[in-house]
Structure 1
Amino acid sequence: MKIRASFLLELIVNLALPWLAYRLALPHWGETGGLIASAVPPVIWSLVELARFRRVDALSVLVLLGIVLSIAAMAAGGSPRMLLLRESLVSGAIGVAFLASLLMPRPLVFYLARATVAREKADGAAQIDALWRARPAFASALRLMTAVWGVGLTVETAVRVFMAMTWPIERFLVVSPFASYGIYGALLLWTFWYRKGLKKRASDAGGAAGDFAG
């Protein structure tokens, strides 16, 4: 999908602002207070999206889920090794959600694509719905993307859990970012490669298909 101003604003609100709120609140309210403060920007964004478009932003929901899981991990014990895992809880939860959505009539990537196109075009949601019904190849592509990202994120979490539970903490802090970014990078490279093929298959459909694949 092309990078647009609205998409960049969405990333800033859901990724940059939560981090900034956390860093500002941490010295005053501690770890838990910082995490709670980091939830404020995506909550406000979701409320605005709900008021304007009668829908909840999917990225905000995923970010909030990760924050809630982080707070739950701290409440469960707050040991150093538990805290090492809090960043992986986000990717793990998303990976499981992706895989579980394959059992549903429409996978999670479908709803993420639908929300993105709907934000850019007044009839974008209807076009994605029609494309899903009319083109089985498009539906299969979204299911494959959901499966690949679900497996990749779940594997990333499993690797970090293994390292956090068995390695010395110092070694984990040095090596784990390389493992995580390596997996994320492989997923992104695969997505860019696969998207080219999807764009070719969707070019004849035009409209929402071109917006999603291009």
Structure 2
Amino acid sequence: MKLRPDFVLELAVNFLLPWLAYRFALPHLGETGALIASAVPPMIWSLIELARFRRVDALSVIVVAGILLSIAAMALGGSPRMLLLRESLVSGAVGVVFLLSLPMRRPLIFYLARATVAREMEGGAAHFEALWRERPALAASLRLMTLVWGVGLTGETALRAWMALTWPIERFLVISPFIGYGIYGGLTLWTLWYRKTMRSRAEAHMQPGGIAN
């Protein structure tokens, strides 16, 4: 995927600006107020996308949902172990949403993939909708990706929750980042490999004689 300006802008709005808003607001508003401030950029971006294209940006929705879950987790208490669980609760909730979307007509990965294609090409959303209808293999592959990411994220949350509740805090702080980034890295590498494999199969299918193979 090429780093188009609109894609870079979306990454900045959904990740860089929330972090900057949080850091700026923290000394003045406290942690809860800073988290609320960090949700403002992706919410505004989502409203702009809705007004321009009549669709809600899926990435912004996930980011805002994660921030809101962080605020909700704070209400559970401020004990050291509960603070350790806060990040895991967010990724776990996203994983559960992935799994819950599997029985639906279109899983969550569909909307993320459609948003990506819409950024990469003119009329990309309509093109992706047509591919979804015409190629059953695409639907099956997106459901598999939704399942893998859902299981991976919920599994990572369960593992880190067990560690946070049973391990010494010092050990958790040292080892937990390696586990989290290891799982995310593994999921990302698998996704890149699977996407490349599906693209190769599609190209082979489009070649003369490919259907017979």
TM-score, length-scaled by structure 2: 0.90
User: Residue 154 of structure 1 corresponds to which residue in structure 2?
Assistant: 154
Q: Which runs of 4+ in 1 moved over 4 A?
A: none
Letter in 1 for 2:8: L
The answer as to 2:176 corresponding to 1:176 is: yes
Question: Does the alignment pair 1:26 with 2:30?
Answer: no
Q: Secondary structure at the match of 2:32?
A: helix
- 2 CA distance for matches of 1:33 and 1:25? 7
Q: For 2:135 and 2:92, locate their aligned partners in 1 and report how far apart those are by CA, in whole Å.
A: 31
Are the counterparts in 2 of residues 138 and 202 from structure 1 also a CA contact under 8 Å?
A: no
* 2: CA distance, partners of 1:114 / 1:205: 22
Partner of 1:210: none
CA contact (8 A) 1:99 1:150 kept: yes
Q: Which runs of 5+ in 2 are unaligned?
A: 207-213
Task: State the AA in 2 paired with 1:152.
Answer: G
1:111 corresponds to = 111
Give 5+ residue unaligned stretches, structure 1: 207-214
Note the alpha carbon deviations across 1:19-43, whole angstroms, 9 max, x for none.
1111111122211111111111111
Aligned to 1:212: none
The residue aligned with 1:143 is 143
C-alpha deviation, 1:205, in angstroms: 8.2
> Secondary structure of 2:2's partner?
coil
Percent pairwise identity: 74
Measured after TM superposition, the shift of residue 3 of structure 1 is 3.0
Change (3 A) 1:90 1:203: farther
Partner of 2:166: 166
Local SS of the residue matching 1:155: helix
Q: Give the whole-Å Cα distance in 1 for the aligned partners of 2:149 and 2:65.
A: 17
1:113-151 deviations in whole A, cap 9, x for unaligned?
112222333422222122112111111111111111111
Task: Give the residue type in structure 2 aligned to 1:111.
Answer: Y
Q: Could you tell me which residue of structure 2 aligns to residue 192 of structure 1? A: 192
SS at match of 1:85: helix
SS in 2 for 1:52: helix
**Segment drifting more, 178-187 vs 81-90:** 81-90
Give the number of aligned pairs.
206
Match of 1:100 in 2: 100
2:53 — aligned with what? Answer: 53
Deviation of 1:202 after TM superposition, in Å, equals 2.9
Residue type at the aligned position of 1:37: A
Query: Residue 80 of structure 2 corresponds to which residue in structure 1?
Result: 80
Asked whether 1:201 is paired with 2:184, we answer: no
- The whole-number CA distance in structure 2 between the counterparts of 1:89 and 1:175 is 18
Question: What TM-score do the two structures reach when normalised by structure 1?
Answer: 0.90
Query: Is the CA contact (8 Å cut-off) linking 2:70 and 2:87 kept in structure 1?
Result: yes
Alignment pair present for 1:15 and 2:15: yes
* TM-aligned CA deviation for residue 204 of structure 1: 6.5
Cα distance per residue 1:181-203 (max 9 Å; x no partner): 00011111111111111111233
Question: What's 2:38 paired with?
Answer: 38
